[in-house]
Amino acid sequence: MKINVEIIKKALLHNSLKLEDLNEKELVKNMLTRRRLSRSSKIVINLAHKCEFTTGVMVYGSAYGELIDTVNILESIKNGESVSPTSFQNSVYNTAASYHSIVQGNKAEILTLSCGDNTSYSVMQQGALSLLKEKEVFVCCVEAMNFNGVENLNKCANELEYGVAFMIKRTEQKANSSVAIKKEKGVPASLSWMKNLYDLCEAKENVTIEVEL
């Protein structure tokens, strides 16, 4: 089955070490919630803001999940220290999407996927499938890996914080674009398909693609 998907809005954030100016003080008014945010959560909230997404269906993807908090837990255990309750709470894959739902009061369906290097395309496939019953869907992928020892994941170490997102809707119009399958230096492989789509949207307007389920 194939679904034609129109790209409504797009957003991209990335930095080789750590993203600055994620504007969490403005976007997350509750101080206690803001202090608990993981790095991925801050990126997702900012991407959603750029795409003007507040409530509705979200499909979120990350190949590696909340590595920073997971590493903090393991280091605490190794050093015989108490595990941070916040790190423990934040160590699951759906942390970022869940924090966005808390901030915005979003009670719609949220799906979290992790599919290795195929994560971003799998997220788009699930987003397209959700369009069978939804008018619009927010899809995004994030990797946040600025932790001690990240060099052991040598294929990911060029860009330690990276996020890309789209608002999409189903269309009856024929696809006018196709996403090139290529890997870019400095882009996590798990996000490369979506980054290629973002570049395509930068180069032309009104992009419509065909997504095979």
What amino acid is encoded at 178 in this protein?
A: S
Question: Which pLDDT score is estimated for 110?
Answer: 97
pTM of the model: 0.94
Rounded average pLDDT over 68-93:
93
Whole-angstrom distance, CA of residue 6 vs CA of residue 22: 27
Give the chain's radius of gyration (CA, Å).
17
Answer with the residue of higher pLDDT: 183 or 138.
Answer: 138
Residue 155 in this model has a pLDDT that exceeds 70: no
Rounded average pLDDT over 132-139:
97
Residue 157 in this model has a pLDDT that exceeds 70: no
Question: Which pLDDT score is estimated for 183?
Answer: 81
Retrieve residue 39's tokens: 């790095």
Whole-angstrom distance, CA of residue 99 vs CA of residue 2: 32
Rounded average pLDDT over 3-16:
97
Cα torsion through 10, 16, 18, 21, rounded to 10: -50
Answer with the residue of higher pLDDT: 10 or 147.
Answer: 10
- Angle made by CA atoms 101, 102, 105, in degrees to the nearest 5: 70
